[in-house]
Amino acid sequence: MIDWTEIPNGDSWELFARDFLAELGFVIDIGPGRGADAGRDLVVSEQLRGRLRTKKFTWLVSCKNFAVSDKSVGPDQENNITDRLKQHDADGFIGFYSTVPSSGLVERLQRLEKSGDIAAFEIFDRKKIEGHFIDTGMSKLALRYFPTSYARMRPIQKFFGKYEEILCDVCGTDALAKSVRTPYYSNLVLASPINNHRRYESLHVVCKGDCDQKLQALLYKKGFITQWEDIGDLVNPILFLKNMLTYMNILHDREKEFSDEAHQRMKNIYVSLAQRTLREVNKEDEKRLVDLGEVEGL
């Protein structure tokens, strides 16, 4: 999904690692820089929280960009790990790689952790990094470093500073996040009383299969019939627009009735779906929205 060769060199890869880890909430203690770095690309930290106190945990981050050759990162490319950690007063080791670690490197890190020479290690390989792009709404970061791949990904955005999820009413799975990797995973279900097909009393989101069957059985027992639409279709930009216009026409022509609860749920779902279907929101867009005082009306 992501073309890692869009980042052309090691310097840019270190800058990307810095911004990516900052997005995840790490504090950047020492950022990338040119010149001799004694085996250090970055030093980052986080606060480990216990019941009574917190403790700072420091990570040495080693950045390797082998995207062009597509070679794995082996033990020969990660020399003297324990010495490097001691020199920079770090507790753990993070490998931040555009490819994957070799089995030999992983085994060495496991031995060092087991012997207590390092407190912990973590590997951010290309698949793990890609997963964060898809699932946590790092759309601005993707646009900055991978503009060509961004156009293909259409990652989830955060319009108002936070991610608006769409949870399955039965199991709690985030249907919107699932739609990126598995487009046709869940349904939007509209429930009407059996004796009044014109009125939609409630809206539901469910995973297909067991969750859908459980919801249908529950609604039928309460005296409702259902219609459904595929969430995978609703994140298609054209079909998203068509669905919104259809909904507006239904309200205007009074073909159907929606309860207050159903109408509010529909609006919330449209806002969530827009995080995947609309273009990136820039600073000018955000400022204009605030200036017009439109946020509260959504």
**Cα angle, residue 162 at apex, residues 157 and 165 outer, rounded to 5°:** 75
Per-residue pLDDT of the chain (298 residues; tens, 9 = 90+): 789 999 988 889 999 999 999 999 999 999 887 555 545 579 999 998 877 788 899 999 999 999 999 999 999 999 899 999 998 999 999 999 999 999 999 999 999 999 999 999 999 999 999 888 766 567 778 888 998 887 666 667 777 778 889 999 999 999 988 887 787 899 999 999 999 999 999 999 999 999 999 999 999 999 999 999 999 888 888 888 889 999 999 998 888 899 999 999 999 999 999 888 876 666 666 676 676 665 555 5
Q: Give me the residue spans of the domains in the chain.
A: 4-153, 175-292
Count of C-beta atoms within a 10 Å radius of residue 238: 9
What's the pLDDT at 135?
62
Task: Indicate the SS3 state at residue 251.
Answer: helix
- List, in sequence order, the alpha helices (H) in the chain: 10-23, 81-87, 103-115, 126-135, 139-145, 147-153, 175-181, 210-221, 231-234, 237-253, 260-277, 283-292
- Residue 280 is encoded by which pair of tokens? 């990136």
- Residue 30 is encoded by which pair of tokens? 């020492």
| Helix, strand, coil % in the chain, rounded to nearest 5 | 45, 20, 35
CATH 3.40.1410.10 for domain 4-153, yes or no, is: no
Measure the CA–CA gap between 137 and 176, rounded to whole angstroms.
Answer: 11
Measure the CA–CA gap between 112 and 114, rounded to whole angstroms.
Answer: 6
- CB-CB contact of 185 with 174 (8 Å): no
> Whole-model pTM?
0.60
- Residue 132 is encoded by which pair of tokens? 């964060």
- CB-CB contact of 270 with 244 (8 Å): yes
